[in-house]
Amino acid sequence: MTFSQKEKAALSVLKVLDSHDMSKFEDDLPHDTDLQKWVLEYESTLKNIDSSLSADVSQKQLQSQRMSLRNKINSELNIKTSDTRLIQPFTSMRQTVWLMLSLIIIAFFFGKSFHKLEATSTSKSVDIIQLMNQGLLANIDIKLNGDESNPIQLALQSTNEIEYSGNLKDELIQNMLFYLLLNDHNTGKRLKAVKLLEHIQLQENGRNVLIASMLTDPNPGVRLKSAKMLQSYVADKLLIDACVKTILEDDNFAVRLSAMDILESHPVPDMIPALQVIRIVDENPLIKSRAKSMLVEFEDLNNGKIEPKI
């Protein structure tokens, strides 16, 4: 498919094509299966965006979303009934607007990571994880204690006070930081958690936590830090979708720009439909212009006229 075909298809889906071009496009469409497929994908992208933009945030709907999500996760991960409590602390987060995507990411990750940890962790870590599962942890305090081997000290409160020290390679420390980043009401602690995580290259689960944080954290500073950190990760479909969502929905321009930086630093053809949407619907001329530039790069690349950069 040529760029011009894609452009016309996008414009026809957005219903901004003039009548002459529209009738020509409609004549061509039944004879071109690639074009039909592309139009369907594009419509689906737009539909997702529309539905998220117009999401009603009534408590009833949120509750039903949470329930459906839990059911989905339970079935996907085959978590035993007793383990469903793992998800609960994370699905009762403080957000006012719940984004389906971020919920899936958060819950999927935590379901997965705690499931794994349960089998391998030490008795001390099991205690803490159990407390987390039961939502009994409160006032988690992060301290940097100056100890070179175990610089991070977490002081936790439940029925007893618990202290745990370790470094960033420590899986439990990482998980506690993820917990703080996604769950703590105190913005300062969430910021501290994300700043500590900046010092290591996280595995997929950690990256997913950052994505969730970029999408859902109520504080722009935390979202911005998460978005900046995500620039060092390869952009797969999940990250691209998250970036597109951020670009189209986040009210903080810096966060949106950082999401654009992620797309720019890892250009993959999957993001073309998204860029076409951004090029047309984004309100900011800079972001529009950057989306246009990226599309130009893709166009040239497809024609083989310039050196591949991907």
Partner 1 sequence: MKYLIHIFILSSLLYSQKIFDSFEQERISRYRYMEQYTFEQVLDDGSYTLIVNNFNGDMVIRGHLGSSLSANIKTTIKVLTEQGAKEMINLHQVIVRHDNDKKVVQIDGPEDLSGRISYNLDLQIPIMTNLTMHSLGGDVAIEHAQGEIEIKTGGGDMDLNHINGKGFFETAGGDIEFENGKGRFSIISKGGDISIENIEGKFSAETAGGDVELSSIIGNAVVSTRGGSIGVISFDGQYLLASTSGGDIHIRDINGNVDISTSGGDIEIQNLTGNAIASTLGGDVGLDEIHGNVDCSTKGGAIHGKDIFGAIKAVNQAGNISIEKKYDTQLKDHSLDLTTYVGDIYTSIPEHFPANVTIIHNGENATSSINADFYLNEKNKQGKIIATTKIREGIYPFKITIYHSGDIKIRED
Number of residues that bind partner 1 (CB under 8 A): 39
For residue 90, the SS3 value is: helix
* Three-state secondary structure string covering 233-252: CCCCHHHHHHHHHHHHHCCC
CA nearest 168: which of 143, 141, 194, 197? 197
Under rule CB under 8 A, residue 287 binds partner 1: yes
In the complex, least distance from residue 85 CB atom to partner 1, rounded to whole angstroms: 26
In the complex, least distance from residue 141 CB atom to partner 1, rounded to whole angstroms: 8
CA nearest 188: which of 155, 250, 141? 141
Which of 31, 80, 199, 305 binds partner 1 (CB under 8 A)? It is: 305
Q: Is-contact 220 249, C-beta < 8 A?
A: no
Binding mask 240-279 vs partner 1 (x if CB under 8 A, - otherwise)? ------------xxxxxxx--------------------x
Region for residue 278 given its phi and psi (left: phi exceeds 0; alpha: psi -120 to 50; beta: otherwise): alpha
Backbone angles phi, psi at 162, to 5 degrees: -125, 140
Under rule CB under 8 A, residue 286 binds partner 1: yes
Q: Is-contact 168 176, C-beta < 8 A?
A: no
Under rule CB under 8 A, residue 295 binds partner 1: yes
Which of 1, 16, 200, 306 binds partner 1 (CB under 8 A)? It is: 306
CA–CA gap between residue 88 and residue 91 (Å, rounded): 5
Which of 19, 285, 308, 309 binds partner 1 (CB under 8 A)? It is: 285
**Cβ nearer to partner 1, comparing 144 with 234:** 144
Under rule CB under 8 A, residue 229 binds partner 1: no
Candidate ranges 25-33, 49-57, 100-108, 222-230; the one touching partner 1 (CB under 8 A)? 222-230
Candidate ranges 78-86, 102-110, 170-178, 300-308; the one touching partner 1 (CB under 8 A)? 300-308
CA–CA gap between residue 52 and residue 29 (Å, rounded): 28
Sign of the four-CA dihedral 104, 106, 107, 110: positive
In the complex, least distance from residue 256 CB atom to partner 1, rounded to whole angstroms: 7
**Cβ nearer to partner 1, comparing 135 with 221:** 221
Binding mask 114-153 vs partner 1 (x if CB under 8 A, - otherwise)? -------------------------x-x------------
Q: Is-contact 85 134, C-beta < 8 A?
A: yes
| Contact residues for partner 1, defined by CB under 8 A | 139, 141, 185-192, 219-224, 252-258, 279, 284-289, 291-296, 300, 305-306
